[in-house]
Amino acid sequence: MIRQMLVLITGVALLNLSVNAQSLADLARKEREKRPTEKSAKKVYTNEDLDKYGALRPASTTSTETQSAASAATVAKTSDLTSSGRDERAWSKRFIEAKAKVQETKTQGEALQAKLNDLNLKLVRQADVYDRENVYGPLIGQTRQQIEKNKADSAAAQQALEDLREELRKSGQPASWENSEAVLKPDPKEAQPAAKPKNKDQKYWQDQLATIDKRYSALIAPLEIERFQLVNRRDLKQGESPTVTGTLGLGAPPRVIDIDVQIKELVKKRDQEKQEFVNQAIREGALPGWFR
């Protein structure tokens, strides 16, 4: 009896082991069958998918281009700084010319207005002129036309100056360059090598003295022309001297008196500088007779 029970228990145990082994084998097989399915379920990236991410690449390129542009701007700024002196000379020249044009049209306008006033006065009071209306009428009409043209020229010159100021402002350059006189000074970049000392003979000293005359003549000549226009109510003719002769009447424009004072001061300074130059030349060995 006991022996039969042992045989039965052993059989059940073997059956359980067989069942468990079969279950493990089934599980392993099922696991192997699932793996290809899972692998095939993973995402496979195509060219189309890669194109979606291609949009990120220009960003890095743009960053590189921005850095390159910034570097170029830095180099350009450095270059501008090194050439700032020449830039100032260019702005100085443009502003001096623009302001000179404004002053020129203003002076012409004053001369034309003085001429018109004089013609109107003669039209009313010049009793010794026969048929004054036919004599002065056309001249008055012509002068008025000239005044209108001068007003247009003056407005254009003033506008050109304002445009230049705005251009300077937008350029970012110093506002003080509007009043710069850099162009009137020698340009160190264009300086010529020092010439060998010349023999200081009579010609040498005479040339140096003539240089002083030329420098002051360049300052006096525009004043004489302006004075002539104001006094004579007209421009200079070809080959005509700007020197005004005769005594001015009470009707002379106030500006004429100011010009006379300026001319006298310049002449006085010129004579003093020439005398000082002659004294210096004599101390260096020049003969007094060379300057007579």
Contact 292, 207 (CB under 8 A): no
Q: How many helices (H) and strands (E) does the chain have?
A: 7, 0
> CA quadruple 138, 144, 148, 149: dihedral positive or negative?
positive
Residue 283 scores a pLDDT above 80 = yes
- Residue that the structure tokens 């073997």 belong to: 14
pLDDT at 60: 42
Domain boundaries, the chain: 90-183, 198-291
Residue 233 scores a pLDDT above 90 = no
How does DSSP classify residue 180?
A: -
pLDDT at 125: 77
Where does residue 132 fall: left (phi above 0), alpha (psi -120 to 50 degrees), or beta otherwise? alpha
Residue 147 scores a pLDDT above 70 = yes
What are the CB-based long-range contacts (under 8 Å, 24+) for 257-264?
Answer: 259/223, 259/226, 259/227, 259/230, 260/227, 262/223, 263/220, 263/223, 263/224, 263/227
Secondary structure percentages of the chain, helix, strand, coil, to 5:
80, 0, 20
Closest-CA residue to 181 (of 94, 240, 242, 118): 94
Lowest mean pLDDT among 42-46, 158-162, 168-172, 284-288: 42-46
Confidence class of residue 288 from pLDDT cuts 50, 70 and 90?
confident
Confidence class of residue 154 from pLDDT cuts 50, 70 and 90?
very high
Confidence class of residue 276 from pLDDT cuts 50, 70 and 90?
very high
Is 24 or 148 the better-scoring residue by pLDDT?
Answer: 148
The residue-averaged pLDDT of 132-160 equals 89
